[in-house]
Structure 1
């Protein structure tokens, strides 16, 4: 029998900025075909974790494997949606060109995209409800529309694992529903999706598994096991109020 290889395997991962520890000794193996929330207070290291996994930040110690191999050998398997504020939205390009960028991982940077690549990109815009805005400059789009375009770009990468950093921040309710619908479709295709998330009240609704983080790993596992009052208190401390009448839903003070 062939042993199961986890989509993402993290071992003893630590990261420091200017010698100050930001993440310490994280170890976990993700299941396949699940929506996995990465949750914790501001400054907990959530975005840092994604960047470290993707090789955008150096590790102080530990290692990361994507389907059993180093990230640099498996880049073609990864789709990434960064935080909106990290993107230069004044860059002179239209929505379709942004989505086409997602095809270059499959093509290689020196091959010209073909008609079928353009069709695939338009398909991704259609899925995110942005086909009518294909020729619109990204600077002219609303925050929610920009987020949908970046989601379409990640879909164009046709990846097996997706990392999304706060995809619901600054979007309207319709866009949030559209995003979660697409994430559910990816899960249905057997893809693994890791999402940095801040809204505790939707954690149970959105995610199958949960990584609860505050510089250290507080809990990792199925949401019904990891999302407990005790674990939330460990992660958020005095900034969190547990409301018994809300059946375990937590609220920030």
Structure 2
């Protein structure tokens, strides 16, 4: 069974297609980059897979089953800009939210859950900030807390929406180390990503998206100049060999 299979997915806003007949499947235990220009539908794709927005057509399966929000098989890290960071809660409580799929929404997390949450904070270098209000954390620290929450879910498939945006170099290194650790554990991780320079370094598999699926497969086979031109069109510029710049308009 494939971790994620998407067949002919179409999502429309006010009758205008944002995604049109998108199809792909991903292998288990790999890091998968979702790559494409602004407005390509990358975040929409993740939200549609998770049932956060309605689809107009198509089929989505997680391990050969229709995904349900209460399933513990999936972990999600949203875009940092979409979160209300002024909500009055501390870092530990945010991470403990990742345990509700295991304890149930109407039960309080126990000692074991707190220990797991603290261990997840430690893995992202945030254990000393456990009692800090999330509004008092830097952007990179907030992102690490959300990654710790995803770890606490102990999922099989993770979806991460631009986890590297707005973080410093140290946090980016910490995040990619964490993603590789998840891969070593046999987890499957799909990441919306915008930096073309690091795609070959970070990902085993890529999905090139621009409303439609341009290409999907192993990075060495799919991440080609021809496919990038098809994905970005005239927005793709070249500085020198193997170095790319995307001019977003």
Instruction: Report the alpha carbon displacement of residue 73 of structure 1 after superposing the two structures with TM.
Output: 7.3
Partner of 2:43: 47
Q: Distance in 2 between matches of 1:185 and 1:35?
A: 11
Q: TM-score, normalised by structure 2?
A: 0.97
Q: Which of 50, 61, 65 lines up with 1:65 in the alignment? A: 61
Instruction: Report the alpha carbon displacement of residue 172 of structure 1 after superposing the two structures with TM.
Output: 0.2
Q: TM-score, normalised by structure 1?
A: 0.96
Q: How many residues align?
A: 247
CA deviation string 1:125-184 (max 9, x = no partner) = 000000000000000000000000000000000000000000000000000000000000
Partner of 1:220: 216
Q: Distance in 2 between matches of 1:130 and 1:246?
A: 39
* Aligned residues of 2:118 and 2:127 also touching (Cα < 8 A): yes
* Aligned residues of 1:229 and 1:242 also touching (Cα < 8 A): no
* Aligned residues of 1:90 and 1:138 also touching (Cα < 8 A): yes
Partner of 1:80: 76
Partner of 2:176: 180
User: Structure 1 residues 74, 66: CA separation in 2 closer, same or farther (over 3 Å shift)?
Assistant: farther
Partner of 1:246: 241
* Aligned residues of 2:51 and 2:69 also touching (Cα < 8 A): no
Q: Which of 112, 119, 128 lines up with 2:115 in the alignment? A: 119
Q: Distance in 2 between matches of 1:49 and 1:33?
A: 20
The DSSP-based 3-state class of the residue aligned with 1:11 is strand
* Aligned residues of 1:32 and 1:191 also touching (Cα < 8 A): yes
Q: Distance in 1 between matches of 2:193 and 2:181?
A: 19
Q: Which of 145, 152, 155 lines up with 1:156 in the alignment? A: 152
* Aligned residues of 1:218 and 1:231 also touching (Cα < 8 A): yes
Q: Distance in 2 between matches of 1:85 and 1:105?
A: 24
CA deviation string 1:93-139 (max 9, x = no partner) = 00000000000011110122110100000000000000000000000
Query: Can you give the 5+ residue segments of structure 1 that lack an aligned partner in the other structure?
Result: none
Report runs of 4+ in structure 1 exceeding 4 Å deviation.
Answer: none
Instruction: Report the alpha carbon displacement of residue 246 of structure 1 after superposing the two structures with TM.
Output: 2.4
Q: Distance in 1 between matches of 2:100 and 2:118?
A: 15
* Aligned residues of 1:66 and 1:74 also touching (Cα < 8 A): no
Q: Distance in 2 between matches of 1:12 and 1:47?
A: 17
